[in-house]
Amino acid sequence: RKEVEQDPGPFNVPEGATVAFNCTYSNSASQSFFWYRQDCRKEPKLLMSVYSSGNEDGRFTAQLNRASQYISLLIRDSKLSDSATYLCVVNLGQNFVFGPGTRLSVLP
């Protein structure tokens, strides 16, 4: 089993839609959690950290369930500019493990 797994995608959604991404991790010792965004042929950039209490940043909401080892990202009112690959990232103390990513295409 891979350490971090994500929805295989791709997700093709119309503008204005709500879309949810799921991520599971296998190492219960994982210490911190993130969602990164990667545009085509660009470097990954931090979208948001994920906290146990859940956190929201504008149209984006992240949730963490440590008991189920599950992380989610919800995007509301999708914009064309949200089209990208979304990477789930788990920290194991000194290094990070990246999921394979889920590609999102928001269509006009």
Partner 1 sequence: NAGVTQTPKFRVLKTGQSMTLLCAQDMNHEYMYWYRQDPGMGLRLIHYSVGEGTTAKGEVPDGYNVSRLKKQNFLLGLESAAPSQTSVYFCASSYAGRETQYFGPGTRLLVL
CA distance 14 to 104: 11
Closest approach of partner 1 to the CB of residue 56, in Å? 18
Q: List the interface residues with partner 1, window 75-94 (CB under 8 A).
A: 87, 89, 91, 93-94
Hey, what are 44's tokens? 């990954």
Hey, what are 64's tokens? 């963490």
Number of H helices, E strands in the chain: 0, 11
Over the window 23 to 52, marking each residue x when it contacts partner 1 by CB under 8 A and - when it does not, the resulting string is --------xx-x-------xxxxx--x---
User: Contacts with partner 1: how many residues (CB under 8 A)?
Assistant: 21
Strand partners, 97: 90
Interface residues toward partner 1, by CB under 8 A: 31-32, 34, 42-46, 49, 87, 89, 91, 93-101
